[in-house]
Structures are given as structure tokens and as C-alpha cells.
Homo-oligomer: A and B are copies of this chain.
Amino acid sequence: MATIKDVARAAGVSTATVSRVLNNHGSVTTEARDRVNEAVRTLGYHPNSAARTLRSHEVSTLGLVIGDVLNPFFAELARAVEDEAREHGYYVIIGNADENPQCQDEYLDILLDRRVAGLLMCPTAEVSPRVGEAVRNGHSLVFLDRTIPELDIPTVRSENAQAVHELVRHLCSVGHHRIAIISGPDSLVTGQERLAAFREALRDNGCELPAEYLRIGDFQVESGVQAMRSLMELPAPPTAVFAADNLMALGALRSIRDQGLRISTDVGIASFDDLPWFELVDPPITAVQQRTEEIGRVAVRELIASLHGEQARSWKFPCRFVPRQSCGERHP
């Protein structure tokens, strides 16, 4: 590949001049500028950004580490992050941690080593020393969707409790008293908060959460399938089930169908996360909607603020409860 030296030679100038026209820095005569541009074109020259970064410390790339691209929630988040970043002149490179702390660390290293300007991440369960270290080393970091309480890092995410309360109130009002939950992992704040809110809301409405109505999943499809099956095999199965994310909801729906049961008639189902196809299922799925796009966009803005030396702030966005017909609601 052509280097800056080749260009300089071809244009009959020094490498300093080439650098100047490339970066629009300092003044260069029009004539010299033209010769350089010409040389760049004919040589098909592209600056080596490793060298450039090494020297100038300037970068216009943001790193994003997400839990799992296959989860539509994260895909939407990634999209929002990308859109907002681009509007500010940044690109984003994505690493997929696969909900695996070790993998997350590796991406953290890779992205940081590549000298991204700043980092956005959805932290997985365990606290990795690498994360704290990155911050101490002066890297700008903001969490999104999830947080790690011990770490005091600016976080943009959903306020989980209020919509869960609304959901439970709704379920009770349409006549459910035996309500089960397919919860997320204990180790994730999103898992904890949704479960805590669910439990509390149940109590507020004069219900209990018997141990056998609590199933801990891992936010993946298969755990939803398993949980739903075992729930329906109980001597006294629940009349409604709340799945704490869209993937487990998908699993639960699949399990209902496989058991030859009917949604709503045989067992009600509600989901945290709302997906476009929820409206197309018969009956349409009652769900909690997160403001995913806003979470992604605001996180980027906070990160950029922190890049500019301002103090990044944390945000919590309320969710919207969207009752439909999957829980025995009367049809309109």
C-alpha cells in the first residue's frame, strides 16, 4: 500500500505538506494542494489510521459492547446508538459479548486498544476488574440498559418498576390471582428490578408469589420454553404468566402452542419488551414497551458530553404499559 512518503515523492513535496492538505491543517498553496490531491488519487492512497492515531490521539469512533445481537432489543439499541453517533460525526464499532463476562472483557480490550474515543456498554452480570480499570485510566464510559451498582458509572436505562406495577394491577383487574413470573437472572439489575417490582405489586394487590410460580430464566428463548412447560405441569398452574423479556416470552408462547393450549383462554401471557410482531399474534400480546431508541440516543449524547470534559449524567426512562388481548382482556 502507498504511504505518505510515496505521495510526497509523487507530488514533489515533503510529507509534512501532504499531511497538511490531508488534514486541512495549516496553509498550503493551491498548486501544491492540487498536486498532492492528484498524487493521492493516482496512488489510491489511504492514510494508515493506526499511525495517525498513534501520533495524534484523535479518534472519531465509538465502541459499543452489547449483550446479544440476536436479541431484537439490543439490535434496536445498537441501531439507535449508531444513528445518533453518526449525527455527531462518530462511527461506532460493535462487539457482541454474548452475555458472557469474559467475552465482554475481551471486547473491552479490543475496542479500547483500538483507541475508540469512548465506550458504551450493556454490562453483563459480573463486575469485571477491566471495567473499573478502563475508567480509572481515563476512558469515557457509559452504561446502557443495565448497570453495575458498585461502579458509579453514568447509566442510561429504563425505569423498570412502575410499568410492572401497572401490569400486575391490570392482570388482577381482569381477574387473575394466580400469576407466575419467568424472571431474568438474579445477577442482572434488570432481572432483579423486574422481579422485585413484580413481587411488590402482587402484594399491593393482595396476591402472593408462591415459590413454584417463580422461575428464573436467562433472558434467552429456551429458558422461556422450559419455564412455561413446568409451570403448566403444576397441580395448580397459574392463570397468567409474565415473561421478563421478549426472548423468554417467545419461548413461553412456543411452549403454549406446543402443549396445545390457547393463549388467553388457557393461560394469559404478558411480556417485558414490546416487539412489532406482538400485534400479529392471535390474540395480540400485552406488553411493556421500553423507550429503546431514546435510551440509545441519550447514552450517546452523554458519552459525547463526557468526551468534551463535561460530567455525564444518568437517566431513567419510564416504560409504557400496552394492554392488548393476551391476558383475558375483554375484546373491544
B-contacting residues of A (Cβ < 8 Å)? Answer: 1, 44, 46-51, 53-54, 61, 68-70, 72, 75-76, 78-79, 82, 91, 93-96, 98, 106-107, 109-115, 133, 136-138, 221, 250, 253-254, 257, 275-277, 279-282
Q: Given that A91-B110, A282-B281 are contacting pairs, would A54 and B50 also be in contact in the complex, using a CB cutoff of 8 Å?
A: yes
How far apart sit A136 and B79, CA to CA, in the bound complex (Å)? Answer: 32
Please name all residues of chain B whose beta carbon is closer than 8 Å to the beta carbon of A50 when the two chains form the complex.
Answer: 49-51, 53-54, 113-115
* Contact residue among B107, B275, B276, B280 (Cβ-Cβ distance under 8 Å from A91): B107
Question: Inside 8 A of A280's CB, which chain B residues have their CB?
Answer: 250, 253-254, 257, 277, 281
Q: Indicate whether A137 sits within 8 Å of B70 (C-beta atoms), given known contacts A250-B276, A280-B254.
A: no
Complex Cα gap A241–B303 (Å): 46
Residues of chain B within 8 A of A79, CB atoms compared: 68-70, 96
Complex A-B: 5 CB contacts under 8 Å: A50-B54, A61-B110, A72-B75, A91-B95, A94-B96
Query: Which B residues touch A114, using CB under 8 A?
Result: 49-50, 93, 114
Let me know if A46 and B109 touch, CB within 8 A: yes
Do B281 and A113 have beta carbons less than 8 Å apart? no
> Are A137 and B44 in contact, CB atoms less than 8 angstroms apart?
yes
Contact partners of A282 in chain B: CB under 8 A: 281-282
Q: Is the CB of B96 within 8 A of A78?
A: yes
- Which of B46, B95, B106 is A113 in contact with, Cβ under 8 Å? B46
Q: Is the CB of A82 within 8 A of B96?
A: yes
Q: Which residues of B contact A113 (CB under 8 A)?
A: 46-50
With A114-B50, A115-B50 known as contacts, the answer to whether A69 contacts B78 (CB < 8 A) is: yes
In the complex, the chain B residue whose C-beta lies closest to that of A109 is B46
